[in-house]
Amino acid sequence: MTAPGRDDPIYVAGHRGLVGSAVLRDLEAAGYRNIITRASWELDLREQQAVRDFFGTEKPAWVVCAAAKVGGIVANNDYPGEFIHDNLAIQTNVIENCRAAGVRKLIYLGSTCIYPKMAPQPIREEHLLTGPLEPTNEAYAIAKIAGLKMCEAYRKQYGLQSVTLMATNLYGPGDNFDLERSHVIPALMRKAHEAKLAGAPAMEVWGTGSPLREFLHVDDMASAVRFCLENDVPHSMVNVGTGDEISIADLTRLICEVVGFDGELRFDTTKPDGTPRKLADSSRLRGLGWRPAIGLREGLAATYDWMLKTVDLRLNASA
């Protein structure tokens, strides 16, 4: 299969989210000139007829589906009905209309959180559906697994070319820094910054700090999306990660260095740690020639700079 031409119509669904906005930036920087986007208020991807009309009018030749209802552990646990309904509706409408419109390739974005809770480490693609899911995000995971399997079924029956990318923990520009809903890096970054501004002698961190996690800058994720869009990928699904692990304790220290907070770190061991280790095996994608380019410290520094310039948290008042 040939790569997209620079003037081919490419639809990026979810272009205002963390991953979608990075994909949009990356495609534009690579010289693609006919990128189609719609905000959710312009096109509700849950509405079947609206999506059918959009595909019929715009006729995209290539599609990146980064649109999804996402959230942290609290939102996933409190609103499972919304998470399974909205994600099933969004991806079903997009995948079906990719088929109907004769789209040349679909890049569908998943997450390593769809793997079994106790999957062997590092997690390989074949570990999918080999054990129970993490209960707190089961609704989201089941919806995303259904999308992956729908892509595989459509490839088998209709010849729809697609690749599902399972991303590890992502961070970077466009992240959510709300302490109630953010993931670990933006949450720790905001806490460290606010502790610095307050001149606090210490900063509290949940858990023991011992769990190991893998983090990928969202711009590297976008480069993986474009790599799979432009190249033949002989797999229906591939993991996307760095292959590097860091403990939560060491991550917190690194973030504090980047932010400039030099107070004490107090680990609240009464709070849960979560899974001890979560590492994706990305050898399939690496074997095809893709590599991440952004180191963790470099990525954290760029993310902090973006947070200071962009996020309305009254961060700049004393910075």
**Sign of the CA dihedral running 234, 162, 240, 30:** positive
The verdict on whether 11 is a catalytic residue reads no
Residue 217 marked in a binding site:
no
Spacing of C-alpha 169 from chain mean position = 7
Residues 6+ apart with CB under 8 A from 301: 258
Closest CA to 267 of 196, 204, 222: 204
Identify residue 31 by its one-letter amino acid code: G
**CA 4 to each of CA 27, 60, 101, 218: distance values in angstroms, whole numbers, following the listed order:** 11, 11, 16, 22
Q: Which of 115, 140, 154, 171 is catalytic?
A: 140
Within a 13 Å sphere around the CA of 215, how many CA atoms are in the beta-carbon half?
25
Residue 144 marked in a binding site:
yes
Residue-by-residue DSSP string for 293-314: ---HHHHHHHHHHHHHHH--SS
Residue 149 marked in a binding site:
no
* Burial of 227 from C-beta contacts in 10 A (0-12 / 13-18 / 19+): buried
* Count of C-beta atoms within a 10 Å radius of residue 138: 19
Residue 318 marked in a binding site:
no
Residue 285 marked in a binding site:
no
Radius of gyration of the chain (CA): 20
Residue 109 marked in a binding site:
yes
What is the spatial distance between Cα 26 and Cα 34, in angstroms, rounded to a whole number?
13
Residue 183 marked in a binding site:
yes
Residue 110 marked in a binding site:
yes
**CA 40 to each of CA 91, 218, 222: distance values in angstroms, whole numbers, following the listed order:** 14, 21, 21
Residue 16 marked in a binding site:
yes
Q: Are 247 and 184 in contact (CB under 8 A)?
A: no
Residue 41 marked in a binding site:
no
Residue 193 marked in a binding site:
no
> Looking at residue 91, what DSSP letter applies?
H
Residue 111 marked in a binding site:
yes
Residue 191 marked in a binding site:
yes
Residues recognised as catalytic? 140
**Which residue ranges make up the annotated binding site?**
14-20, 109-112, 144, 183, 191, 206, 213, 273
**Which residue ranges make up the annotated binding site for NADP(+)?**
14-20, 109-112, 144, 183
**Which residue ranges make up the annotated binding site for substrate?**
191, 206, 213, 273
